[in-house]
Amino acid sequence: MASKKISTPRREESLSRDRIIEAAIELLDSNGEGGLTFRSLSERLATGPGALYWHVANKDDLLSAACDAIVARTLEDSAVGATPDHTIRTLAGDLFDAIDLHPWVGSSLAAASGQLPMMRIVERIGRQVRALGVPDAAQWATASVLLHYILGVGGQNAANGQFARTHGIDREAFLAAMSARWLALDPEDFAFTRSFADRLPTHDDRADFLAGIDVILDGIASAHGR
């Protein structure tokens, strides 16, 4: 009697798109975009690079999916406030934190115009802008201002932090040196800049970011009679 052949499931059969995306996020967080390759990803997942192509088309597809996963989680976890103003402020702070924690998300969103992760954010902001009572004709411009401020400042903050970590720069020492340079500027030509030099070493990037959100919200209220 012939012996029964016992088949062993292939490793790639246990893969899923979600599992690949989570592994990609881990690689991106630890090594940045340059560290995400199909070879490094296949090594992490103990499979062959070919198996990954069953689930993701290429690196751009994978990067977009990883970015979308972070954005979707952030929006899901972001609390809805009692007012649209509060909801926008909370959402902005949560996105700032997410981009700071995952610096690659900022550059990925910048390259993802019109794609799902960006449209998720646009939709969430736009609904709150509409709830603020902004007229239809001004809603897109208003949402765009908020969107570009959040992603621009959040992305730059994350890039600065990543640069400092990569080059071993101590934030406190760096800001103290910058403060000294500002104080050395001509007091007539740079009166405004010098007036803030003493506060520079202790300023809070997140607090400054949210103060900017408040300025935008105040401008929306003033422009539309709220």
pTM of the model: 0.87
133 and 51 in one domain? no
**Residues 82-100: tens digit of each pLDDT:** 899 999 999 999 999 999 9
62 is a domain residue? no
Which residues in 103-150 belong to E strands, given as ranges?
none
Work out the burial of residue 136: count CB atoms within 10 Å of its CB; fewer than 13 is exposed, 13-18 middle, 19 or more buried: exposed
Say if CB 51 and CB 7 are below 8 A apart: no
Number of domains in the chain: 2
Domain of residue 30: give its range: 12-56
**What pLDDT was estimated at residue 15?**
82
176 is a domain residue? yes
33 is a domain residue? yes
**What residues contact 138, with CB distance under 8 A and at least 6 apart?**
223, 224
83 and 192 in one domain? yes
52 and 74 in one domain? no
**Residues 153-175: tens digit of each pLDDT:** 999 999 888 888 888 998 889 99
